Amino acid sequence: MTAAPWFHQLAPVHRVPGRLRLRYACRPGTPADEATLRRAVERLDGVEAVRVNAAARSLVVHHDRSADDAALAAAIAALPAPAETGKAGDAPDGAQLVRSLATLLGGFLLPMPLRLPVSLAAALPLLRQAAGIYRREGVTSHVLEAMAVSISLARSDFIAANTTTFMLALGEYLEESIARRSDELLKHLLRPASDEVWVLRDGVEVLVPAASVAVGDSVVVGAGAVIPVDGTVLSGSATVNQAAMTGESVSAAKERGDTVLSGTLMEDGRLVVYAEQVGSHTAAARIADYVEQSLTAKSEAQLEAARLADRLVPTVLKLAGASAVLTGDWRSAASVLQADYSCALKLATPVAFKSAMYGAGKAGILVKGASALERLAQADTFIFDKTGTLTTGVLDVTDSITFDKAYSPEDLICLAASVEEHYFHPLAMAVVAAARETTLNRHFDHQEVQFIVAHGVASVIDGQRIVVGSRHFVEEDEAIDCRAHDATVARLYQEGKTLLFIGFGGRLVGILALKDSVRAASAATIARLRRAGAKRILLLTGDHRERAAEMADLLDLDDVHAELLPEDKARIVERLAGEGARIAFVGDGINDAPALAGAHVGIAMQKGADIARLTADIALLEDRIERVADAKEAANAAMALIATNYRLTVGLNTAILGAAALNLLSPVATAVLHNGTTIGILLNALRR
């Protein structure tokens, strides 16, 4: 019986002579771990080396240049799934480590004629791998290590050869484990999603495929279920555990008007959620996308560390030759060849970045790759949008102005709320909330409510038509004259307030003014950013100049630009960047997208428009302004840790290299010191 194929999907995405990169997807139930995949592909004819990134589902195959790419891809696609799907993937590395340890401990007990073949057999995987690397890339750190082992074997110094082989196997095993753990930290941010979702269709609960849920659907979520969409609660009450997405340890009570995130767990209760973000646009799906980018993207610090490691290889090779000539002892050359910088330099930096991104993700901050974290640490100028960023974006009724003596200000609010309570919109919800705060919370009986998109609502009370909405709606569509109150309207607009016009029986009976408030944490966040290295903090807004200046004074900002169009914001960002400022722009609206894209690093608020979240380098999962300061502090801490590891790597390895070149260290001592310090630096990089 022919075994089922291993891969459900396999497609070439890039090819150059001698190298082929494929995107793959394993069939359900087949092994997907990197070691098992790598070992299987390496056994194919013509394959020299394989690199697997399971998180990105990327398979890079280095092969003999005479091999045909299409034939090789077909051979990989035809690989049968292994019968066993246990943890065999970890066996090769562990087996090599055990073999090298057994050779080290038992080699001296063997008769002299057997010591060379046994030591050579233990070192053979290392030598074979180095030969393949040499053919593809020339002299690298791995080639230097193999040369050190070869010198010891040639000199019949089996203790040195076996010790070096074991320490290299141990170092590689631990390095891969640490690197794998840093990837797992990020992958733990992925949230499980159900394949089916309950939605309300014509008042009936229907179980539908998750992929068919659309924006505007009413999704029903019961106790014990994972919320499948980002949205706002239409009805019901529940306790939601948000720790998976925001890091909050205390469960949150949710009711009508509250926002909920996909990937969070319903502990008890029942909610009907208005779906605002579905499928790939949900927070959980964005995490998955960011994780894939984070695992593959490289920062400038990473690239510089790798470049330095590569530049040092010829230096180490020359130093080994000079040491052998000057000391007349090939043992010193073997010692020098082992003291390379490559592993710690190339691995410690990405491990530290991934660990920092995992910590940020747990705190509700999604960082799109190491480069974004690096650029945030460099930022010295923070520019904020106003509405929904430094302010709550949640409107409150501030003024109720009546033009009909039959209605008090509270009556006017309740009149509007009676029809607005059926309308799911921030303005409507603010009016309903204000009505609940009135002394009587009066309700006016009305007929069926009519929704006029982008205008307002209309109904009939006591036989008279009532309309609530924009001036354009009541004046042009409903023919209600508002000109007598232009002075009042102008004053309210000048104060930066949003207006709702209420027409009843063909006349304007009043106006409700609404305004959002400064976030309670805005001032503290500004202060924390200054302590974290921000030299200038500015406000850019399309709001009225007086209102913007008032906020700038309240929060002690360095400068303010008001009454701006989107292109004005982008132009100011471009000008400041041209003057040398490293800008972090914080915004949430469609009009912020050009500025977010043009900044050194863009940060999008949780309630931001889709295009703002897409354009930004960093996206907040919680509607909390203090997360901006958290992100800056996390970026600073990550770069400080990377700088420390860099100094440790260069300092310790330079000392080891110098001692080896002066013939002060044996190959055994060099292997122990070099690999021990490398592992210690990698463990330090994994700290959170």
| Cβ partners under 8 Å of residue 70, min gap 6 | none
How sure is the predictor about 376, in pLDDT bands with cuts at 50, 70 and 90?
A: very high
Q: Domain 196-225+229-280 adopts which CATH fold? A: 2.70.150
Q: Of 259, 264, 276, which is closest to residue 217 (Cα–Cα)?
A: 276
Give the number of other Cβ atoms within 10 Å of residue 428's Cβ: 20
Q: Domain 392-517 adopts which CATH fold? A: Calcium-transporting ATPase, cytoplasmic domain N (3.40.1110)
pLDDT digits (tens, 9 = 90+) for 247-268: 444 567 888 888 888 777 787 7
| 378, 383, 388, 391: CA torsion to nearest 10 | 110
- The overall average pLDDT reported for the chain is 78
**pTM of this structure:** 0.58
| Cβ partners under 8 Å of residue 384, min gap 6 | 390, 537, 538, 539, 540, 557, 586, 587
Q: Domain 7-86 adopts which CATH fold? A: Alpha-Beta Plaits (3.30.70)
How sure is the predictor about 302, in pLDDT bands with cuts at 50, 70 and 90?
A: low
Cα separation, 402 vs 19, whole angstroms:
76
Q: Confirm if 296 and 305 have CB atoms less than 8 A apart.
A: no
Cα separation, 11 vs 69, whole angstroms:
12
Cα-Cα-Cα-Cα dihedral sign, residues 651, 653, 659, 665: positive
Q: Confirm if 144 and 341 have CB atoms less than 8 A apart.
A: no
Whether the predicted pLDDT of 246 surpasses 60 = no
Whether the predicted pLDDT of 73 surpasses 90 = no
How sure is the predictor about 244, in pLDDT bands with cuts at 50, 70 and 90?
A: low
Rounded to 5 degrees, φ, ψ at 185 are: -55, -45
Length of the chain: 688
- Buried/exposed 268-300: b ≥16 CB within 10 Å, e otherwise: ebebbbbbbbbbebbbbbbbbebbbbbbebebe
Q: What is the mean pLDDT of residues 404-421?
A: 91
Q: Of 106, 245, 229, 87, which is closest to residue 162 (Cα–Cα)?
A: 106
Q: Tell me if domain 7-86 and domain 196-225+229-280 are identical in fold.
A: no
Whether the predicted pLDDT of 370 surpasses 80 = no
pLDDT digits (tens, 9 = 90+) for 326-360: 777 777 777 777 776 666 666 677 777 777 877 78
| Tokens, residue 401 | 């102005």
Task: For the chain, give the percent of residues with pLDDT over 70.
Answer: 80
pLDDT digits (tens, 9 = 90+) for 75-133: 888 888 764 433 333 333 567 777 777 877 777 678 888 888 888 888 888 788 778 77
How sure is the predictor about 660, in pLDDT bands with cuts at 50, 70 and 90?
A: confident
- Sketch the domain layout of the chain as residue ranges: 7-86, 88-191+282-379+600-688, 196-225+229-280, 392-517
Per-residue pLDDT, 408: 93
Per-residue pLDDT, 1: 41
N-terminal to C-terminal alpha carbon distance within the chain:
50
Q: Of 520, 554, 531, 519, which is closest to residue 630 (Cα–Cα)?
A: 531
> Which residues have a catalytic role annotated?
385
β-strand 230-241 against 252-254: which pairing, if any? antiparallel
Per-residue pLDDT, 84: 40
Cα separation, 342 vs 645, whole angstroms:
13
Per-residue pLDDT, 90: 38
Per-residue pLDDT, 389: 84
pLDDT digits (tens, 9 = 90+) for 563-617: 777 678 888 988 998 899 999 999 876 556 677 777 888 888 876 655 556 667 7
